[in-house]
Amino acid sequence: MIGYVTLGTNDLTRAVKFYDELFQSIGAKRFIETEQFVAWTTGPDEAGISITKPFDGEKATVGNGTMVAIMLKTNEEVDAFYNKAISLGARCEGKPGPRGEMSGFYAGYFRDLDGNKLNAFHMSMPI
């Protein structure tokens, strides 16, 4: 359903370096790249995440209540992805672990170098 999600950045070079290293840990590669925009995906039929300098030339800002959730296959992959993000300078917004009253939902939350909120999660029960 979702093709890709775009997050804004005020420092494209720094953001691309962060996401290149982070997404390499789950096998994602760049699939679109311009001077203003870079996007990654794990495959041609999978959703992607992109980083862009705002088209209007204004400063990129963080959306309050906006979050990108990255689905992984195991709780261990969530832990590793979250830890990789933190090691690259991301800020913790909630360490990995079971969440809420939903049995089988395991997630870790962090903010990237520009303050965009992301979540790595695994759902061990059918949706």
For residue range 28-44, what is the model confidence (pLDDT) as tens digits?
Answer: 999 999 999 999 999 98
Q: How far apart are CA 70 and CA 80, in angstroms?
A: 13
- 8 Å CB contact between 96 and 107: yes
| 8 Å CB contact between 120 and 108 | yes
Domains, the chain, with CATH or none? 4-54+62-123 (3.10.180.10)
Q: What is the pTM of this model?
A: 0.87
Q: What is the pLDDT of residues 46-89, one digit of tens each?
A: 999 999 999 999 999 988 889 999 999 999 999 999 999 999 99
